[in-house]
Amino acid sequence: VKARVDEMSGARLERMMRINVIGSMLCAREAVKRMSTRHGGKGGAIVNVSSIAARIGGSGEYVDYAASKGAIDSFTVGLAREVAGEGIRVNAVSPGIIDTEIHASGGQPDRVERMRRLVPMQRAGTTEEVAAAILWLLSDGASFTTGANLEVGGGR
């Protein structure tokens, strides 16, 4: 739900960080244990999901969300450097305004339409466009790419 920081409860902040930051870090930890050549794995690729909100801050609406995604950006770079020599590439994708149901579930069913004018391409992205970026980062075509953050935001 849209809120200013001075209106956010501690429970909201803890939930946001637990899901977006700690959840991502725990998943990555388990992936590293299985993929790392240090642990007998054959290498692999991890793609974290961040958000353009990490760069623009989410002021007046979702500063907590933006901060959690900023943590993902830092984690992506740090983990990429930590495991690069173990055959693991770590990157992130940062979607912008994407046409999904999450806006309605957050109490703003008209958010995509309202935000469309802020996107230079004048439209929202699709989940398929975000998935295509993730698939590329997981592919052999991105074999020399690690620590990158690919924005899928229509120029925003």
Catalytically active residues, by annotation: 65
CA-nearest of 2, 149, 156 to 75 is 149
Q: How far apart are the first and last CA of the chain?
A: 22
Identify the bridge partners of residue 123 per DSSP, sorted by sequence position.
none
d(CA 51, CA 8) in angstroms, rounded, equals: 20
CA distances from 32 to 7, 35, 64, 86, 88 (A): 38, 5, 27, 9, 8
If we measure between CA atoms, which residue out of 84, 128, 85 comes closest to residue 136? Answer: 128
